[in-house]
Amino acid sequence: MPETDSKSPKDAASHPAFSKGLEGVVASETRLSLVDGENSRLIYRGIPIQELAGTSTFEETTFLLWNGRLPLAAELTEFKSKLAAQRKFDPAVLKILKDMPLNSRPMGVLRTMVSVLGLFDKEADRIDVDNMKRKALHLTAVFPTIVAAFYRLRQKKKPVDPDPKLSHAANFLYMIAGKKPEPEMEKALDAYLILLADHGLNASTFSARVTASTQSDMYSAITSAVGTLKGDLHGSANQRAMEMILEIGEPEKAEAYVRDLLAQKKKVMGFGHRIYKKEDPRATAFRAIAQRLLDRTGEKKWMDISNRIEKVMLEEKKIPCNVDFFSASVLYVLGFPVDFFTTVFAASRVAGWTAHVIEQLTDNRLIRPAANYIGEADRHYLPIEKRQS
């Protein structure tokens, strides 16, 4: 609930309600997803994510987010082929990607490349719905291509051209590894892309909506969103969680490691959530996916370490894990390098960001909150020779 930081009746009159971190503040209306912390529930356009992750595909879920309903068979076929046709990017864009410093953080590269794509779109500044939908399709199609191409360049390998015959998930894995994935891997990534595609007014989506609300353009809004997702408290928690799991290395070391972090008052990445205080439904879905995948690939150790970390966090802090915890091991086993994890998150969330930008602009009002000024008043300008240190 918003609380006031006013200290006196006089302050209360001059300071409207303030909520640090905007916690509990409703800043927008949306028909895209419901994040229900009380009941540990997430639904997209009315449909529970568990149903979508078990039976749908990323393409179908994206259609649902953008159009408000599931597609008919012919519509889905057309949508998939349109998305596949947009995966390849302009050679001039690839040239710029090739000039990026190879030691750049992948999220920094992705953020820059979204901005670059805007420069190559002659209609970048058009914000009518048809144009916005075209850009949403283009950006969603091309995110995996950017990520995989930068990964291959960093490996001193040639980028792999997208294969239009493959699904969005299978093609992503194909462009990373250079070989077609096994169905189980494709399914796991597809579920990942579905489960992360939208999440109410999370920080990066809020950024996208704020930028869109100024009547800026789609590329600027998505650049803002990528920059926001990059932070450790948001999208980079999956990378940080896996770094921790790898550093722990052996199941028997997990407990002491986590207790030590807590003793130092440090946060354990992949735990806690602003809204889901009891359970993150996406984390529950990922636990099952991770279990299956790690059992199958023989990489059980990561699951054992994860389970032990979780046990300590529940015992000591009663804080449940979030989406980034078990999904970190899933991405690892799928072959994504750890410092690319957040870019995979972005390749999913771009579907939601673009949907929010379109929703914002169809009923727009400039987003412009206020700040309580708590600094000094009634000071005066002093000429430089009269100032004292």
Ligand X SMILES: CC(C)(COP(=O)(O)OP(=O)(O)OC[C@H]1O[C@@H](n2cnc3c(N)ncnc32)[C@H](O)[C@@H]1OP(=O)(O)O)[C@@H](O)C(=O)NCCC(=O)NCCS
Which positions are annotated as active-site residues?
A: 234, 273, 324
CB of 305 to ligand X, least distance (A): 16
Give the length of the chain. 389
Q: Which residues contact 81 (CB under 8 A, 6 or more apart)?
A: 164
Calpha distance 389→383 (Å, rounded): 13
CB 93 within 8 A of CB 113: yes
Stretch that binds ligand X, among 4-12, 24-32, 268-276, 298-306 (CB under 6 A): 268-276
Stretch that binds ligand X, among 127-135, 140-148, 186-194, 320-328 (CB under 6 A): 320-328
Cα dihedral 35, 132, 63, 27 in deg (nearest 10): 10
Please give the residues from 212 up to 241 whose contact with ligand X meets the rule CB under 6 A: 233, 237
Calpha distance 263→196 (Å, rounded): 32
User: Per CB under 6 A, does 323 bind ligand X?
Assistant: yes
Nearer to ligand X, 11 or 232 (CB): 232
User: Per CB under 6 A, does 111 bind ligand X?
Assistant: no
CB 205 within 8 A of CB 35: no
**How many chain residues bind ligand X (CB under 6 A)?**
16
Tokens standing for residue 239: 């990378």
Stretch that binds ligand X, among 37-45, 66-74, 76-84, 269-277 (CB under 6 A): 269-277
CB of 32 to ligand X, least distance (A): 18
User: Per CB under 6 A, does 324 bind ligand X?
Assistant: yes
Nearer to ligand X, 106 or 272 (CB): 272
Stretch that binds ligand X, among 39-47, 155-163, 270-278, 292-300 (CB under 6 A): 270-278
Nearer to ligand X, 248 or 269 (CB): 269
Q: Which of 87, 138, 187, 273 binds ligand X (CB under 6 A)?
A: 273
Calpha distance 132→362 (Å, rounded): 11
User: Per CB under 6 A, does 274 bind ligand X?
Assistant: yes
Nearer to ligand X, 98 or 278 (CB): 278
Stretch that binds ligand X, among 9-17, 66-74, 110-118, 261-269 (CB under 6 A): 261-269
Q: Which of 118, 162, 270, 281 binds ligand X (CB under 6 A)?
A: 270
Tokens standing for residue 67: 């159009």
**Binding characters for ligand X, 15-34, by CB under 6 A (x = yes):** ------x-------------
Sequence-ordered alpha helix ranges (H) in the chain: 9-14, 49-55, 58-67, 73-85, 91-98, 106-119, 129-154, 168-177, 183-195, 203-213, 218-229, 237-248, 251-263, 281-297, 300-316, 323-333, 341-362
Cα dihedral 214, 216, 222, 224 in deg (nearest 10): -60
Number of residue whose CB is nearest ligand X: 272
User: Per CB under 6 A, does 268 bind ligand X?
Assistant: yes
Q: Which of 15, 41, 126, 267 binds ligand X (CB under 6 A)?
A: 267
CB 169 within 8 A of CB 61: no
Burial grade of 17 (CB within 10 A; 0-12, 13-18, 19 or more)? middle
CB 140 within 8 A of CB 355: no
Q: Which residues contact 298 (CB under 8 A, 6 or more apart)?
A: none
User: Per CB under 6 A, does 322 bind ligand X?
Assistant: yes
DSSP-derived pairing of the beta strands 33-36 and 41-44: antiparallel
Nearer to ligand X, 89 or 302 (CB): 302
Nearer to ligand X, 92 or 314 (CB): 314
Containing 41, the helix (H) or strand (E) segment is strand 41-44
Nearer to ligand X, 117 or 237 (CB): 237
Residue with tokens 């199609």: 141
DSSP 43: E
**Binding characters for ligand X, 64-93, by CB under 6 A (x = yes):** ------------------------------
Stretch that binds ligand X, among 58-66, 76-84, 321-329, 330-338 (CB under 6 A): 321-329
User: Per CB under 6 A, does 319 bind ligand X?
Assistant: yes
User: Per CB under 6 A, does 281 bind ligand X?
Assistant: no
Q: Which residues bind ligand X (CB under 6 A)?
A: 21, 233, 237, 267-274, 317, 319, 322-324
